[in-house]
Amino acid sequence: MLEVVRLERGLGPTVIHCLDGGTKSGLFAASFILVERITRDLFVDVFHTVKAIKLRRRAVIGSATQLRFLYRVLIDWVDQTIEKPLRRQQITYPITLVRDPLLSTINDVHSSGLLSSGTSRL
């Protein structure tokens, strides 16, 4: 559902509403904001984001269950949209790295099989 909203979102504000005006719609809004930030910055501060939202709507994320759900959404989002695509990419190094004696050990370690293909990070 987050992906649908991200794709269909126009230039104006997005209206989200639930029966009481805060619990479910607030959880969705918090999820959406955090996903946008983690996609843009590859970093997110859940505590301060939720705190800022709760200053406007106290009923948002009113239970530990909702907070756990929010973290689960973020973990799933990172796993599906950030981590898996990175794992599928083949690591190729520019020819300058091969000739650079300080950085040639990167290629040696990678070609020796000590690092599994596609999962190594520098």
Tens-binned pLDDT, residue by residue, of the chain (122 aa): 555 555 556 666 766 767 776 778 888 888 888 988 888 888 889 999 999 988 988 888 888 999 999 999 989 888 888 766 656 655 554 444 444 444 444 445 445 554 444 444 44
Which residue in this structure is represented by tokens 């996903």?
35
Q: What is the pLDDT of residue 42?
A: 83
pTM beyond cutoff 0.75: no
Distance of alpha carbon 104 from alpha carbon 93, whole angstroms: 10
Residues in the chain: 122
* Cβ 66 vs Cβ 34: under 8 Å: no
**pLDDT at 102 (0 to 100):** 46
What is the pLDDT at residue 96?
46
Rg (CA), the chain: 20
Among 34, 43, 40, 35, residue whose Cα is nearest residue 3? 35
Contact indicator for 81, 39 with CB cutoff of 8 Å: yes
